[in-house]
Structure formats: structure tokens, C-alpha cells
Chains A and B, each alone.
Chain A
Amino acid sequence: MLLSDIDILSAMCRLDAAKRLQIAPIVSWKKQLQPASVDVRLGPEVIVFRREMESKLDLLSPEGEEVTRRLAHRMGVDPTNGFVIHPRDFLLATTFESFRLPHDIAARLEGKSSWGRLGLQIHSTAGFIDPGFAGKITFEISNVGTLPIRLYPGLLVAQVCFFKTESSSRKAYEKSRNKYFGQLRTEASRYYKDDEIVRFIRFVEDERRRARELS
């Protein structure tokens, strides 16, 4: 069930803090509360990728963490100067607002029509936010238009809509299990921390070693 503006405020007013939907800081509720969503702002930090540092990104390479660290370059952005995203560029940023979702509310990050018409995408594929998530939501910003666009921190670039689940989720997003819980800054991919990826890497390494021994 998609939450309306009244439902969103109701969820924010739940007396039990653990079950409360939290969004902060909201600079202007009048401006940001939409009929069935909340407009969110661009945060003051971005990660750009320095392609010159690597020839490729091998997802099953044991040096995944090192490579990602070399690739990702974090930058603070001055709200009066902003930064320019050129056509076909890709970078990471976060919402200015922090979110804490209760166990019975999921959310989805969506773009805004005005920006979409300029060719600005604010997420590539990962717009879904699990129940229990806490932290800032990551933007995967790309410019698919033809003109460079200057973006400024604080702009309302996206909207988040909320869904009430039928029942409270049994396995919510939490600190002990999930890689991005409590993220406060723009963070690059932590795919290398995924248990399954780790197992894959071990398997591939074992196979390669075995092949070398046989040869």
C-alpha cells in the first residue's frame, strides 16, 4: 500500500520510537511533502570514479576492496559552486536527509520529472529501500542527456515514496547483517563484503590454483 501524505505523517508520529518513520533534517515540510512522497535534497559529498587508475573492475578479484578504493574519489561540494556532471558521466551522492524505516515500511527512490526531462537520472537500478534501513540513501547519478548539468547540494533532486508491508518483516535490514546500514556519507560499492561473492572468489582462486598445479 502506497502511503499518502497523511499516512507518512502518521508513520512519523507513532508513539513507539522503534516503529516510527524518521526523516531528518527536513528544511521545509511545506515544500517537500508531496501527495504521496517526500522530496529529498542532494547531499554535500560525491564520489567520482577515476577511470585512469584501473583498466577494469574484476568482480571476482581478491583485490576488489583495494581496486574500489583506488577508483572512488570522494569530494566535498560547496553549495555555492556545485559540481558539473557531463553527458555519460556517472557519480555517487547521497540524500541530504537521513532516514530510518520501521520494520513494516519499505521505500522507493524515484526521480523527478523536471530533472528527468533534462536527462538526469538519480538512480541506475537500485531504488528500493528495505524495511529497517537507517542512513542516507545513495544516488547513482548519471547524465544521459546531451548537455552538461551543474548540480548544487541542497537541490530537491528526487523523491521517496513509502509502502506499508502487509505484516512486519521478519528479517529487517540491520547493522549486523547489511553492508550499508547506518551509512552517513556517500559510500562506494561494498560488493566484496557480500558473503556469496567472498565464496565465489575463494572458489575461483581454488580452481585457478588447481589448474596451475595440473599444468
Chain B
Amino acid sequence: MAEKARPTPSPAACFLFFEVLLLTRSILYLLRPAQPGLEQPAQGLARALRDAARQTGDPVENLVRGLVEAINEAESPYDDAEFLTQIGVQAKEATLLHKQLGFLGRFELPLELEHGLLLCHSDVGFPYPDTLHLASTGDFALLEHRSARVSGVATSVVAVPAAFANLPLYWPLVAHEYGHMYLRGRADDGGNYSRDTPFVGHFGYAEAALEQPLQMWKGEVLCDYMGKALFDYAFLFPALAYFFIRSSMGLATFTTTHPAPWIRLQLLHDATATDPLAIELAKLMEGVTPLVKPAMEAGMVGVGCVACLQKVTEIASSSIPAQILPEIRQSLEAFGQHLVAMQVKPKQPRKDVIANLERAFTEGTPVDLCFAANGLTADVLTAMQGARASGDWTAMLSQLSCSTPTVAELFAAAWRRRLAIQAEFLAESSKYTNSYSDLREEIDRILESIFFLGENLKAGLRSLWLLGHLERVLKDATERH
């Protein structure tokens, strides 16, 4: 008997079947067990570090690899649904977020990130634009949205990896992306500092293919410089640490848009070479230097040549090294002078304030107590001993003042403490290379310190922000009175 032919399903039936499948999947997702709460990235970090520590006996290697893995993995503890609820959009990717900007208004993720930048700008006297938004998604990037329908004003988003949302020590890195926004704004105004501006110095003879990556590289370096100008050491420490983490993937890794970390490290280091605080940076650089392969010893210029040669093979490499770096340095100098003219320069970091803050981080005492850095002075003490009449009291109290740290000082102190913790850890862990259980305990202890440091920093930022607000309110009230 002939087999009965099976009927072919119609396209409509197939469509319906897949729709039902997708709907079921969505329902199952919505009905999944409730999350007990967001896991702190530090816990993910601890796990990643522990796993890394089991693999080899080299603690330094493990630490670096663990950090990289943790940063890659730290997004996973986030509940996507919770995250999307927080930012109020139905898109996860930065590009989709970008498209929806016109309807969203201002992001508040995370609060301290925005406040930190806001405060920093009030410190340096540089306006914080209303059109700048901070989002926590994707990679470090600047996105721009122009919509005549909304207001005709460009809206910029500085995107920060979600993993960094709870790592306040890295927040100053957004200043680099802010630099891109600034450069684009300057280009719109006919300024000379856009990364799209032709590389005018020594490259008149170069092919267009060579100029393009160099323009992009110059832009990145200028933005690093902008970060330094806004946050000073508070930018340099996380930038160096970030490059240090990336160094496990290669200091010489570059793209046509981003120079290799080595040139950025070198230029940042040079920018602080004459400053006493640069000693700390030099120490950090010592940690990076062994990772630099002999082929890179000639400096980033050599690496740049490789990049250029890949683009324009006919140009002899020997003619390029002496020309790239001077060109970038020249641009940096001009850019720096321009920023100074624009009054974009940080207050000089006060060593005593940083030392007090660092001590508070070390002892685990509230950072707020460092806001009165000097306590009550001897003059006040003397006045107080003899003060009984109300007039004396008024005069005495007027002498009291808080030595309020700037955001940059707060971040710089936290980074100094963090580097100290890391150094202690590396020194200690060398004793435990044969005992993983001891090493794990040590890692947990250190991570707890770093986590506490982050919490301390967040609390300090909140206090600082509210303090600024109250001071403005009281000043306003006094003036009206």
C-alpha cells in the first residue's frame, strides 16, 4: 500500500508555531524564580580570582588574569530585567539605547558617577553640559544622538561597562570619553583640536591611509590628556591600572582607531614626570615595564610604525619613528595651552588632604572625618579656654572651617590606598605560592579591603555632594538675609 504523503505545513502555521515558541520562552523567563538581589561584582571577582589561583602557582599572573576574567564576567551577576527596569528602556545594547535617547531624558546610573563628574567640573570651573548623559552598558564609548525632532541639540552618552558601575575607583575614566565630546564640540565650532583635523606637521608626504589612523590615535591621546586635566591623578591611576589589566592581552595591541597602551602610558607618564606625586606613577610603571617585550623597547613609536607599515608598506619604517611622537607631543602641548586658556585645570592636589584621606581608608574610619582635616586649631583652643561671653563664642566659631577635599583628591587617595593593598598582597602572596588555601584566604581578605574601600569612596562622594548642596543653600540664605 502506498504510503500516505504527509501534508506540508503552511508558512502561516510555521510562523504561528515559532510565535508560540517565543511566547512560551518569554513567559518562562518572566516566571523564573525571583533573584535574591544583585550580587556584588566583588563576589564575582573573588570567585574568578580563586579559580585563577587554582590554575598556576604564579600569583601575579593569576591576579592579572583573574581581574581580566572578572571584568569580563562581572556583567553576568546583573539581572538584565532589573537593569533594564532601572534605566527604563527595552534595549540592552548601547546602539539601541542610543536610538531611544530622545524619549528617555536623563540617566541616573549610577548616581555617584554623575555626581562625581558634576563635582569635578565644579572644582575645575568647567561647565557640565545638560546634554551629557551617563549610561552603564557596553564598553567605554561615547555615543552621540542628534535629533531635530527632540530639540536639535546633540545629546551625548558616555557609556561605561556595567561591570564598572559598582567599581567607583574606575569612574574617572569617563573623563576620557568626555574629552571626545569636547573635541567634537570644538570641531563643530571650527576649533583646531578635533581628531578629524589633518595631521599637519611632518606628514605632508604621507598617504591618506597613513594619516587616518594617526588622526584617530592623536584624538585618543588628547582625550587622555583631557582626563588628566579634569581629574589629574584620579584619572592617571585608573588609566594606568586599566592599561595594566589590558597588558595581559598585550601592551602592543593596537587598532586603527586606538594606539597601543604603551604610547598612552608613556605620554601620561611624561605628562607628570616633573611632579613629586609622579613617583607613585613611576612605581606603577616599574610594574608594567617587565611586561614590555624587547621589540617594544624602542617605545611606542616602533609599534606605531608597525601599524603604519601595515597600512602603507612603501614608507620606510626608519623615517617614521622620529616624526610620530614629536607630532603628538606638539598637539598635546597646544591642546594643554588651550585647556589652560579655557580655565580647564584642576586645583593642585593637596598632599595633606590626600594623606588624611588615605589614613582614613587604611583605618576604615569614615572618610567624612577627614573633611575637617586639621581639626580645631590651637588658636581656637586658646580662644575657647578663655571664652565665656557670647561675643567671644561668635568670633571663635567663625574660625572653624572644614577643609573639604575635592573629588579628585578623594579618588587619588583611594587609588593610593588600593595600590598599597595590592602591593601588600603581592608581597604576602609570594609566601603562599605552595598553599592555595592560604592564598585564597589572603585574596578574600584583600578583596574585602578593596570592596570596603569602594564603599567608603561612595559614601565620601555622597557626603561631598550633599555638603556642596548645603553650602550653596546656606550661602544663598545668607545673601538674601
Contact = CB atoms under 8 A, between A and B. Distances in A.
A134 B365 contact: yes
B463 interface: yes
Interface residues of A, number: 39
B193 interface: no
A27 B455 CA distance: 23
B37 A69 contact: yes
A184 B111 contact: no
B132 interface: no
A96 B466 contact: yes
26 contacts: A13-B381, A13-B384, A22-B372, A22-B375, A24-B369, A25-B402, A25-B404, A26-B400, A29-B400, A30-B398, A43-B463, A43-B466, A44-B462, A44-B463, A66-B36, A70-B36, A76-B462, A79-B466, A98-B366, A100-B369, A135-B366, A136-B366, A154-B470, A182-B364, A184-B368, A184-B460
Interface in A171-193: 175, 182, 184-185
A6 B375 contact: no
A98 B365 CA distance: 9
A25 B403 CA distance: 9
A6 B393 CA distance: 10
Given A25-B368, A44-B465, A79-B466, 12 more contacts: A22-B369, A24-B370, A41-B470, A43-B463, A69-B36, A76-B462, A79-B469, A98-B368, A135-B366, A184-B455, A184-B456, A184-B460
B467 interface: yes
A25 B463 contact: yes
Return the 6 tightest CB-CB contacts between A and B, nearest first.
Answer: A98-B366, A184-B459, A98-B368, A25-B371, A24-B372, A13-B381
B466 A153 contact: yes
Interface string A8-23: 0110110001001010
Interface string B106-128: 00000100000000000000000
B366 A12 contact: no
Contacts of B398: 30
A97 interface: yes
Given A12-B376, A184-B456, A24 B470 contact: no
Nearest to A67: B36
Contacts of B365: 98, 100, 134, 182
B397 A29 contact: yes
Interface string A49-76: 0000000000000000010011000001
Interface string A147-178: 00000011000000000000000000001000
A33 interface: yes
Contacts of A80: 469
B471 interface: yes
Interface string A66-97: 10011000001001100000000000000011
A215 interface: no
Interface in B422-481: 455-456, 458-460, 462-463, 465-467, 469-471, 473-474
Contacts of A30: 394, 397-398
A134 B368 CA distance: 11
A10 B376 CA distance: 10
Given A134-B366, A136-B366, A154-B470, A25 B384 contact: no
A6 B376 CA distance: 13
A18 to B, nearest CB: 11
Contacts of A140: none
A70 B467 contact: no
Contacts of B368: 24-25, 97-98, 136, 184
Question: Interface residue tally of chain B, by bracket?
Answer: 35 or more
B471 A96 contact: no
Interface string A119-139: 000000000000000111000
B463 A26 contact: no
* Main SS at interface, chain B: helix
Nearest to A28: B474
B367 interface: yes
Contacts of A100: 365-366, 369
Interface of B: 36-37, 111, 364-372, 375-376, 380-381, 384, 387, 394, 397-398, 400, 402, 404, 455-456, 458-460, 462-463, 465-467, 469-471, 473-474
A204 to B, nearest CB: 23
A142 B467 CA distance: 25
A27 B366 contact: no
Given A43-B466, A98-B366, A184-B366, A154 B473 contact: yes
Contacts of A43: 462-463, 466
Contacts of B381: 13
B298 to A, nearest CB: 48
A170 to B, nearest CB: 22
A45 B462 contact: yes
Given A12-B375, A45-B462, A79-B466, A27 B471 contact: yes
Contacts of B474: 27-28
Contacts of B470: 27, 41, 79, 154
Contact of A27 (B36, B387, B458, B467): B467
A33 B466 contact: no
A43 B397 CA distance: 24
A10 B384 CA distance: 8
Nearest to B365: A134
A23 to B, nearest CB: 8
Contact of A33 (B37, B375, B397): B397
Nearest to B398: A30
A179 B436 CA distance: 29
A168 B419 CA distance: 37
A12 to B, nearest CB: 6
Contacts of A28: 474
Contacts of A10: 384
Contacts of B367: 98, 184
Nearest to A79: B469
Nearest to A183: B366
Contacts of B371: 24-25
Most chain B beta-carbon neighbours within 10 Å: one of A13, A100, A175: A13
